[in-house]
Amino acid sequence: MSIGIFDYKELYSLYDSVLHEANFDYFRKLNRLNPNHINKLREINQEYHKDINNIKTLCDSDYLNIGFFGETNAGKSLIIEILRILYDEDKRKKAIQEYQIQHPDFYGIPPVDGKIIGNGRSDYTTNGEEFIININNDKVILRDIPGIEGAEKKYKECIKENLLKSHVIFYIYSDAKGPDRNTLQKIKSYIKDETKIYLIHNVIFNGQSNYVADNVEQLNRFKLRINKEVEHAKKTSHGTVNGLFKNIFPRQYESLTYIVGFPALSSIALNKEENVSTLVEDQTKKLRKKQLKLLKEAANNIEVVRDLSNLKGFQQFMESITESANLYLINNLKIKLFAALKNCEDNTQLLVDDRHIYEDIIKAYEEKKLKINTLFDETITQIDESIKKAVRKVCNSFYEQVCIQIELKDGSYDKSDLTHFVQENKDKIISTIIKELKKIIPPIINNFEKKIKEFDDEFKRKFEFSQKYGGFNIRFEFEEIFKDSDAAKALGSMLFAAITGFLLTPLGWIGAAIGAVVSLAGTILNWFLTTDERISKAKNQSKKYFDEFYSEFVKFMHKSDSWLEFKQTFENAREERINIIDKLIDLNNESIKFISDIDYLLDDKIKKVKEKYGCNKNF
């Protein structure tokens, strides 16, 4: 029954080829921006490879795998034993042969079969047990899976492994203990949609000691009692259990059948003149005694016992499954491949959906760029205006000193007096201007640096909050996202250095500004020293001088190498800052392109695989 319908090299390479065909430069940049995203893609690829390996294992198998589940004492092992006897299971035949070799003088029935019946051991095995039978020349593995109740944690991996290997699950339940909803929910968490589930009701029926002499009457009483038990079992549980399984396993559950387990086992074992026993001698005797009691009640009519136990119906049920096993396995493998591809798609889609965080980052960076540009513009304007304000303040201060001299001389103050005053106080004017600038510039730079840090902190808080509460499927490290923050740390000190250089080298251009105004004094000042208004006129003329000095100062400052160098340093800092953000925007854009490429390529390749192998929801 080995099925070679898939090109496994093609299937294995599907996700690898997607990653390979996607732009490698984008791959590298995404790995740099967020290695967790790339690591998640690798994890998806590994999981996909594991799914394909499992499918290959099933394809290479010559067996239909049937997993038997049932809670303790439900009769799971008993039904497996029926199938072992019915289809001459290999282990059992070998054990009989070995016993006969070891006991050549033994006359009777070798006590070797039924070794898993009645002792509860199989429910607590850590590995499960396998039995191989042949049904219509098809090899079938019966998997005796550990009971899930109680020891679930201890045997969870064993249970999952056996379920994974099983094409079909038989869930065995009895009258004494029907299916437990919690147990079924656990099973559901372990199996996939394509696994088929069948219910087998093991109707409990044991012999009675109430006999009559007439064998016909005795047999009729037996028939009546066993039929009554079967009808009662059907009436009281089949509807409820069917509904329960349809509700919990809406896609996996197929149908329910029943077997009266102990009578079926007894009839087939004794008909073949073979004992039904456990490995424990006293238990062997008990089972033998129970069999004889049952047969006596049935007037030793083994055929009736077999018929009323529904052994024939159960055998037909088994054969109906195996008759179409090859077709079923092919269909099942296609279902599993479809599930593997869908799982791969779904996991990748989660990461594709996460690309919006990169879009959010880009949007935030654009907003940050606007804020930074505005801050740089405002800061250079603020520095310029503050310098003008400081110079105006100094001019007003020295103008007030001139006014005092004018008043002391009763207005007898001409341009030579003003020129002398300016030349005499030139160094003081310069030092006072520098002193004022040193007072007003540092707070501006400090505020600039503070604002940059606030932008960074706000940016980081926003995305840390999004990462925590945004429902993303990957974790962002932020290391590359906030790289531009490092550039801001040295920005303040760099600007301080630039403005300090500007303030320490002003003597040339300030002196030139003063000289230019002094040389204009003769043209701009008209002194009136012979009238009563001379004091007012002298003050007005002096005011014009200092106003002109202010204008010339600003003009010379804006043309000075020191100011131009400072502005260039400031612009370089802005450009460097914006360039870092632009590069990170590009990095995020190219990461989005890479993720989109993965989405497109994977969708295209999976679509082709589904078309090639007929793996779609409607096959």
pLDDT in tens, 515-560: 665 555 554 445 444 455 677 887 888 888 888 888 888 887 888 7
Does the pLDDT of residue 284 top 80, yes or no? Answer: no
User: Residue 483: in which H helix or E strand, if any?
Assistant: helix 483-489
The pLDDT, as a whole number, for residue 260 is 94
* 160-174, 446-460, 488-502: range with highest mean pLDDT: 160-174
Arithmetic mean of pLDDT, 264-293: 62
485 φ/ψ angles, rounded to the nearest 5 degrees: -65, -35
pLDDT classification of 285: cutoffs 50, 70, 90: low
Dmax over Cα atoms in the chain, in whole Å? 165
How far is the C-alpha of 113 from the C-alpha of 554, rounded, in Å? 111
Q: Is the pLDDT of residue 575 over 70?
A: yes
Confidence of residue 109 (pLDDT cuts 50, 70, 90): very low
Tell me the two tokens of residue 116. Answer: 């898993």
Whether 71 shows a pLDDT value over 80: the answer reads: no
- Does 327 have pLDDT greater than 60? yes
| Tokens of residue 346, six digits | 């779904």
The whole-model pTM stands at 0.51
pLDDT of 114 reads 47
| Contact assessment for residue 165 and residue 121, using Cβ atoms and an 8 Å cutoff | no
Under the banding of pLDDT at 50, 70 and 90, the label for residue 241 is very high
Average pLDDT rounded to a whole number, residues 386-413: 86
Instruction: Name the more confident of 497 and 301.
Output: 301
Lowest mean pLDDT among 136-140, 306-310, 401-405, 512-516: 512-516
Question: What is the model's pLDDT at position 328?
Answer: 67
Lowest mean pLDDT segment, chosen from 181-185, 375-379, 488-492, 595-599: 488-492
E-strand ranges in 71-227 read 129-135, 138-144, 168-174, 196-202
For residue 43, name the pLDDT band (cuts at 50, 70, 90).
confident
User: pLDDT for 184-236, tens place per residue?
Assistant: 888 888 887 778 899 999 999 987 877 888 889 999 999 999 999 999 988 88
Please give the average per-residue pLDDT across 88-105, as a whole number: 71
Residue 553 structure tokens: 């100062």
pLDDT at 94 over 80: no
Percent of the chain with pLDDT over 70: 74
What pLDDT, on the 0 to 100 scale, is given for residue 275?
46
Position with higher pLDDT, 418 vs 489: 418
Q: What percent of the chain is modeled with pLDDT above 90?
A: 13
Q: What b/e readout covers 296-314, taking b as 16+ CB neighbours within 10 angstroms?
A: ebbbebbebbbbbbbbeeb
Name the DSSP class of 105. T
Cβ–Cβ < 8 Å for 543, 399 = yes
Identify the weakest region by mean pLDDT among 125-139, 356-370, 469-483, 585-599.
469-483
Task: Give Cβ neighbours of residue 37 (< 8 Å, ≥ 6 apart).
Answer: 30, 31, 351, 354, 474, 591, 595
Instruction: Report the mean per-residue pLDDT for the chain.
Output: 77
Chain centre to alpha carbon of residue 278: 50
Give the C-alpha separation, 106 to 552, whole Å.
Answer: 131
pLDDT in tens, 21-42: 776 666 666 666 567 677 778 8
Rounding to the nearest 10 degrees, give the CA dihedral for residues 325, 328, 330, 334. -160
Angstrom distance (rounded) from CA 589 to CA 593: 6
pLDDT of 290 higher than 70? yes
Average pLDDT over residues 354-372: 83
* Bigger pLDDT: 98 vs 491: 98
**67, containing H or E segment:** strand 64-70
Among 147-156, 479-488, 501-510, 576-585, which range has the highest average pLDDT? 576-585
Whether residue 282 has pLDDT greater than 50: no
pLDDT recorded at residue 595: 81
Three-state secondary-structure class, residue 170? strand
Ordered by where they begin, the domains of the chain are 61-309 (3.40.50.300), 356-595 (no CATH)
Residue that is written with structure tokens 């077709």 in the block: 327
Helix (H, G, I), strand (E, B) or coil at 175: coil
pLDDT bin (cut points 50, 70, 90) of residue 504 is low
User: Could you tell me if 453 and 555 are in contact, meaning their C-beta atoms sit under 8 angstroms apart?
Assistant: no
Residue with tokens 């086992």: 265
Greatest mean pLDDT range, 39-48, 192-201, 246-255, 454-463: 246-255
Dihedral pair phi/psi, residue 412, rounded to 5°: -80, 75
- Range in 89-93, 235-239, 593-597 with the lowest mean pLDDT: 89-93
R_g of the chain computed on alpha carbons: 48
Question: pLDDT: is 151 or 137 the higher one?
Answer: 137
Mean pLDDT is highest, among 310-314, 431-435, 615-619, for: 310-314
Q: What is the rounded CA–CA span in Å between residue 471 and residue 130?
A: 44
Check pLDDT > 80 for residue 168.
Answer: yes
Q: What is the pLDDT of residue 567?
A: 83
pLDDT for 119 beyond 50: no
Mean pLDDT of 588-611: 84
pLDDT at residue 271, as a whole number: 52
Does the pLDDT value for residue 395 go beyond 60?
yes
Confidence (pLDDT) at 226: 92
Confidence category of residue 438, pLDDT binned at 50, 70, 90? confident
The position carrying tokens 């490879």 is 49
pLDDT of residue 279 exceeding 70: no
How large is the average pLDDT for residues 128-152?
78
